[in-house]
Amino acid sequence: MLLPPDQVIEIAIRLLAAVLIGGCIGLDREIRRKPAGMRTHALVSLGAALVMLIVVRTGPGIIEHVDAVSRVIQGIIAGVGFLGGGAILKSSEHDIVHGLTTAASIWLVASLGIACGVGQWVAALIALALALLVLIVGEPIERLVHRIANRESGNVTGDERRE
């Protein structure tokens, strides 16, 4: 079934937005050399957007069937949880867990893809801005909090003694 050009353009914009928004989150992960980078995040977001787009465009009135749309969203989020779980690693040496932020960002880009797939542009862009703020500004804030907490508790490391 051929679609009118305006519908093809709308579909392309929704999918492209998902790739760009997911890629922005992935770019932060890529710069920090984390397990899942720009391509992974862009593809997860694109996949979520595509599934949602298929659901909302299946036929007239499908969007009124909130339960069906809700089940699709639940399936995407649960499935992506397994992908994110693969990014989480536990170091047996120091009992430290790595990859939680990357797993969370993978889960987030699926949600952003869903938002793009259903055309929720404002929500997707606000969430993108907040996510980038958390990812970029969050790490220096965490380091500062840890430094202050270590000083107050008397646990000063070699690095902190030099400062």
pLDDT in tens, 10-67: 889 999 999 999 999 989 888 888 777 888 899 889 988 888 887 777 666 655 667 7
pLDDT in tens, 46-61: 988 888 887 777 666 6
Q: What is the CA radius of gyration of the chain?
A: 20
Which residue's entry shows tokens 């051929």?
2
If DSSP codes are grouped into helix, strand and coil, which group holds residue 2? coil
Judge contact between 80 and 112, C-beta under 8 A.
Answer: no
pLDDT in tens, 68-119: 778 888 888 888 877 777 777 766 676 676 778 888 888 889 899 888 888 8
What mean pLDDT value characterizes the chain?
81
**How much is the pTM?**
0.68
**Mean pLDDT of the region 149-153:** 78
